[in-house]
Amino acid sequence: MRPRSIALLVFLGFVVVATGVIGRRSTGQAQARELSKLRERRAALDAQQAALEGAIRDAASRARLARTAEERLGMRVPPESLVIRLPRPNREAPKQ
């Protein structure tokens, strides 16, 4: 082979390798941007989940439920003198 042919092959090899490196880097940058967007979305969804869990806790609190039952249904908590406490049945399995 002539030196000119060897130089051409080396140059073409360099161009092919450089093109591969540039393509891989471009793909990596696009994936990094996508990953960043997904992380931001996850953080937003985590914050929304925390807010919804707080709203559920507030809505399910005893004070809120008692107030809602009183306002919407006209129910009231009876005075302690009208409450009859019944003993709980024994939880043991019945003997055979």
Q: Are residues 15 and 22 in contact, defined by beta-carbon separation less than 8 angstroms? A: no
Per-residue pLDDT of 8-45, as tens digits, reads 999 999 999 999 999 999 999 999 999 999 999 999 99
Query: Which pLDDT band holds residue 60 (cuts at 50, 70, 90)?
Result: confident
Does residue 89 lie in a domain region?
A: no
Overall domain count for the chain: 1
From residue 58, alpha-carbon distances to 48, 78, 87 in Å are 15, 23, 31
What is the rounded distance in angstroms from the CA atom of residue 37 to the CA atom of residue 43?
Answer: 10
Domain range for 24 is 3-77
Q: Which of 86, 87, 69 is nearest to 77 (CA)?
A: 69
Helices and strands, number each (H, E), in the chain: 2, 0
Q: Are residues 49 and 41 in contact, defined by beta-carbon separation less than 8 angstroms? A: no
Does residue 86 lie in a domain region?
A: no
What the block records as the tokens of 71 is 């306002």
